[in-house]
């Protein structure tokens, strides 16, 4: 499996044309590739930016969170958005040139749109798209990449019913393929000033390409989350069903 970074020009907030940048910078996409794209440049493409000096960032973070947990030991709350714990609900001022950049309005719609772009431009049948953001993990320092939207391939591999090396039947094991690919691509992208918001993953194993929506294959509700015990007292009543 190969991760191929794509250097681009800087996309300028509050709005810039990502498709023009892709036209300029991505010269080849092959059958079976997965295109990984930073949520920051997708949001700038959408114009999902607000002036830093005149925007209440704290209010914006709360408005864009599905769950907000205040922390008296930290300057910002713990937030859930896009079915993940993501700092400040993804609202970010880095590489934003005086703006606050939110996450894409609908990362799955954006991923499908970009999938259609790559299919048509390069005359492909099987290609995947992942939109990434970064988040922190409890009891670990630093950030890793996570998929907040994707299209074109199955995000998980269900191993239930298979046998392990010693013949024991698997009862619950499901492999999260999409987040694994996103984490590797984010390492290649870098977090600060490399200007590599696109990564091509080539020869990824065990991918099944599809045109159906697969969000519900990976995402679970608050009610079905096995980690719910850690935060259930903070879940709004409207989200507890």
For domain 2-48+106-216, give the fold. 60s Ribosomal Protein L30; Chain: A; (3.30.1330)
Per-residue confidence of the chain (241 residues) as pLDDT tens digits?
A: 999 999 999 999 999 999 999 999 999 999 999 999 999 999 999 999 999 999 999 999 999 999 999 999 998 999 999 999 999 999 999 999 999 999 999 999 999 999 999 999 999 999 999 999 999 999 999 999 999 999 999 999 888 878 788 888 887 788 999 999 999 999 999 877 789 999 999 999 989 999 999 999 999 999 999 999 999 999 987 676 5
In this structure, is the dihedral angle defined by the CA atoms of residues 184, 187, 189 and 192, taken in order, positive or negative? positive
Between CA 134 and CA 39 the distance in angstroms is: 9
Phi, psi angle pair for 132, to nearest 5°? -115, 155
Between CA 180 and CA 83 the distance in angstroms is: 16
Count CA atoms closer than 13 A to 191's CA, side-chain side: 11
Per-residue pLDDT, 240? 66
Per-residue pLDDT, 241? 57
Instruction: With beta carbons less than 8 A apart as the criterion, state whether 115 and 21 touch.
Output: no
Per-residue pLDDT, 162? 80
Q: Where are the domains of the chain?
A: 2-48+106-216
Per-residue pLDDT, 217? 95
67-106 exposure pattern, b = at least 16 Cβ within 10 A, e = fewer: bbeeeeeeeebbbbbbbbbbbbbbbbeebbeebbbbbbee
From start to end of 77-186, where are the E strands? 78-81, 84-85, 99-101, 128-136, 143-151, 156-158, 174-176
Report the number of secondary-structure helices (H) and strands (E) in the chain: 6, 12
Report the predicted TM-score, pTM, of the whole model to 2 decimal places: 0.95
């Amino acid at each position: 499996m190969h991760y191929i970074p794509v250097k681009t020009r800087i996309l300028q907030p509050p709005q810039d044309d990502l498709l023009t940048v892709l036209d300029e910078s991505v010269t080849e996409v092959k059958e079976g590739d997965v295109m990984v794209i930073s949520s920051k440049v997708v949001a700038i493409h959408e114009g999902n930016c607000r002036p830093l000096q005149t925007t209440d960032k704290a209010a914006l973070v709360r408005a864009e969170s599905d769950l907000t947990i205040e922390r008296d030991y930290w300057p910002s709350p713990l937030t859930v958005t896009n079915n993940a714990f993501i700092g400040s609900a993804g609202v970010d001022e880095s590489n934003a040139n005086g703006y606050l950049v939110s996450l894409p309005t609908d990362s799955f719609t954006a991923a499908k749109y970009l999938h259609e772009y790559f299919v048509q431009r390069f005359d492909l049948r099987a290609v995947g798209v992942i939109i990434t953001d970064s988040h922190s993990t409890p009891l670990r320092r630093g950030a890793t990449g996570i998929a907040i939207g994707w299209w074109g391939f199955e995000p998980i591999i269900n191993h239930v019913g298979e046998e392990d090396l010693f013949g024991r039947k698997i009862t619950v094991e499901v492999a999260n393929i999409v987040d694994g690919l996103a984490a590797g691509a984010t390492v290649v992208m870098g977090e600060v000033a490399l200007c590599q918001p696109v990564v091509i993953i080539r020869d990824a194993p065990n991918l099944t390409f599809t045109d159906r929506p697969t969000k519900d294959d990976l995402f679970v509700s608050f009610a079905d989350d096995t980690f719910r015990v850690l935060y259930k007292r903070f879940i709004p009543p409207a989200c507890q069903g």
